[in-house]
Every structure is written in structure tokens, then in C-alpha cells.
Chains A and B, each alone.
Chain A
């Protein structure tokens, strides 16, 4: 059974902009899934449905086979299991310092102070930003903010982590280090789902891939096969990786 699934998911933004059209998607435990597609294809909109931020216009979201519960308590339980890192780190950081910001999630999990502190330190170290702990969040570089935002999500040790363009804007070495960190997180039981425009990275890193175009899934399959297939990639308006 898939860990998280979307069934015939359709979403129209208020104002009538269609964003997702009858999406069927299954996320299997332990299989890294890359979501690719051109700008405006609906990748972010999909992720926002997978943690209950947006509610489908029609269709369903299933968590371990059961339709999700949209009550306040249900949403809260859902978001404990499914973490989300937004495309723009500025939408996520709100506390005065990096340390305080990263502690927000663990405290919301109901952890005690000592354990929350340990989680924060672990997350900061994993992302190589332990030295930024005391820095003001609004005075960081783009890449530093990005890593602080990701630390805030991984400190909650979710079962599934949804990342919207995690490596966009990071320098090559930081991007590699982030992927290594995500692998460690995965080794401890977190399933990774991410969107990206970096086809080569998705090819190297993901197990599975889905290609989006205009709110529909145009192809899916093992990343190693799908992303080198020029004909299939072209249907999503993407360039294949040189195989």
C-alpha cells in the first residue's frame, strides 16, 4: 500500500485558474520521488495538497490507504507525518534567530525543552549551519535561509518530507551536502518527495519521477529511464539528460 496517494485530484484556484487536472499519484515508502515540469505546471500546487494546505476541488488524498481527515485534529496529525519545505524560505522563517526558528516545529510536536533543543542542534549540524544558530533569520544569505528552513522541517523528523525546489539557488557544494543530508534523513525512515528544475540532479538522486505539464501527469517511471528519454521528456516541455 502506498504511504500517501492522490486520487483523481483536481484543483482550481479561487478566481478560476485551473492548476491540477485529475492527478493520480502514489508515494511509496522509501522511494525518492522527483516531480518535474515547466514553470506553472502545478508542482507547488500538488505539494500543497499533500500536506493539507490546499483542499482538492474534487478528488481525494489518502494517507496509508485511508482518506485524510480535514478536521483540525486530523490536519494536525497529518502534518506531523508529512513535512513541507516551501519554495521561498522567507515564507517559513519568522523567529528572531535561526535556533529559535528551528525549535518551532519540535515544540509544536509537544517535545520537552531538552529534547527540542537536541533536535535543533542535530538539524543545524546536519545542514552545516550550527555556526549560524544565533544569527538573525532576516540577515542571512539566500542559501543560508534555505538551509535554515529545511532544518526547521527535518527537526520534526517527518515520515514524508515534501521539498519544493530544495536545491534551487544553492551553490554546487551546498546542494551536494543537502542531498547527502537528505539521504541520512531517509536512512532514518523519511520518504523524500521533491520538485526540481534540475533534471540531471533528479536523474542522479531520485528513484522515481513524474513529469507534469499543464496540471496533468504526462509520464511517470524510474528516474534513470524516464529522464533520459528525449521523446517523453519533450512531451513535458523538458530537455532530457544526456545519457
Chain B
């Protein structure tokens, strides 16, 4: 159970229609990728933060932590924009700083959009959504099983880690390395075994290897919320267009 799965299963927006959440999350993602980073990306980030913390009720501290997780990758990528290979060897790129800042903002905003969807919607609901949107059943099942498999692997690893720690397997770095190696070596066979037992459990209830259908609660789209989401996205898009037309040239200089 990752923190993302835990939040997805318990947040206040859990029972909102997936149509609303997908429109908002993917809409924010799309805007972050297609409009100039300033000011739209900042606005996207702000909207996603409000949606997740005020709307879905995820504590701000948790939101920041999850959002910061991929930041390392983003920063490494952005750092390469700071330098360039010129006639005098390696030097700082002339416009490196604004470009790196722009990339960081844009990527963070894009991640925040995607997280707005994944933090409010359990993976199984996403899969059910894919099915409803006529994605081929094979792809959907593989997605579901991969997700379940990852959860099992995560649970197994955490249980093994707890058991090792309880027997003092992690008291110093030497033992920690040894214990971690043992854990890694045993994780695959253990997870496969659990997956096999899960299959037995499902087969006992009549699963024939085809669709994993359950009675999903009906979650009607709320017209009020849908309107609010469309209005928000439209406002963000307008902000992006306005900037592209050079109406906010001064603001555009700011990150530099």
C-alpha cells in the first residue's frame, strides 16, 4: 500500500464521478504542457493544490511531500539547461536560468495535474473508467493486474522489512545492507506466491480468467462541479492565451 493508494481510497473526493476528476486532472496536465510556464503553470499548480488540499482534504504536508518526490528528476533535467558547451568550453548558458526555471515549473505543474487525478481516484476506479471508455479489455486487465501485483510486492516488502527490523536486521549499516539484499532476493518468489494464492481465491469465487467485474457504486456527474471545473480550465486556458499574445510581457520576465 503506497501513500498514494491510501489517500486515493480515503479522500473526500473518493465518491465523486471519475469523469469530473479525470477532466480536471488531465485538463490541468494538458494546460501545463501546452501553455507557457509563466503564468499558467503557476496557476495550474495553485489550482491543483487547492483541489487536492481544500477539496479532497489531503493534508498540505502530505501533498507537498508527494509532489516533491519526482522533483529530483525534474531538477536534474533542468540543471542541464544551465550549462552549455561553447567555443570556450563549458560555460553558463545565456538564457539558462529562465529556461531551467520554466522547465521546472512546467514539469511540476504537469505532475500536480496528474496527481490531482491519481490521489483522488483509486487505481481500480481508473481501470473501471478505462473499460467504460472502451479501452480494449486486455489492456485494462493487464493494467489492473500490474497494479495489484505492485501492491502485493509493496506489502510483501514492507512486511519482510518489519520482520527483519524486529529481529534487529537493520541496526547498523552492515546488517542493513545484508538484510536489504536478502529482502530483494526473496521478494519476487514471495510476491509470485501471493499472486498465485490470490488467483486461487478469485477462482474459488467463479473467476474464469476473464473480466474482474464488481458492482461499482454509481457516481453520477454533478453538473455544478462539472461547470466549476470547465470554468476553471477555461480561465487557465485564457490566461495562457493572453500571455502568448504578449499581454503579460512584464510578468513573463519575472522568473529570470
Contacts and interface: CB of A to CB of B under 8 A. Distances in A.
A93 to B, nearest CB: 8
Given A96-B9, A136-B9, A91 B208 contact: no
Interface in A210-243: none
B206 A79 contact: yes
B160 to A, nearest CB: 15
B221 interface: no
Interface in A65-97: 72, 76, 79-80, 83-86, 88, 90-97
A101 to B, nearest CB: 7
B198 interface: yes
A215 B121 CA distance: 47
Interface stretch (A28-36, A109-117, A168-176, A190-198): A109-117
Contacts of B202: 92, 94, 104
A88 B203 CA distance: 15
Interface residues of B, number: 28
Interface in B164-211: 194, 197-198, 200-208
Contacts of B5: 138
Contacts of B208: 72, 76, 108
Interface stretch (B52-60, B212-220, B233-241): B212-220
Interface string B220-246: 000000000000000000000000000
A76 B207 CA distance: 8
Nearest to A87: B197
Given A94-B148, A103-B215, A139-B6, A109 B197 contact: no
B93 to A, nearest CB: 48
Interface string A158-196: 000000000000000000000000000000000000000
A107 B124 CA distance: 17
Contacts of B201: 86, 91-94, 149
A100 B201 CA distance: 15
A88 B207 CA distance: 18
The B contact surface, by secondary structure, is helix
B122 interface: yes
Given A91-B194, A138-B1, A51 B214 contact: no
Nearest to A138: B1
A120 B215 CA distance: 10
A117 B206 CA distance: 17
A138 B9 CA distance: 9
B216 A100 contact: yes
A130 interface: no
Contacts of A152: 205
A94 B198 contact: yes
Contacts of A117: 215
B17 interface: no
B139 to A, nearest CB: 19
Contact of B206 (A53, A93, A108, A120): A108
A116 B215 contact: yes
A84 B204 contact: yes
Given A76-B208, A139-B6, A104 B203 contact: no
Contact of A95 (B151, B197, B204, B214): B214
B212 A94 contact: yes
A72 B203 CA distance: 11
A72 B1 CA distance: 34
B125 interface: yes
A95 B124 CA distance: 7
7 contacts: A90-B194, A92-B205, A108-B206, A109-B206, A113-B215, A136-B9, A139-B6
Interface of B: 1, 5-6, 9-10, 122, 124-125, 148, 151, 194, 197-198, 200-208, 212-217
4 shortest A-B CB distances, which residue pairs?
A: A108-B206, A92-B201, A103-B215, A136-B9
Given A96-B9, A105-B205, A134-B217, 20 more contacts: A48-B200, A51-B204, A76-B208, A79-B203, A80-B206, A85-B204, A94-B201, A94-B202, A95-B212, A100-B124, A100-B216, A104-B214, A107-B214, A108-B205, A108-B206, A108-B208, A116-B215, A136-B10, A149-B201, A153-B204
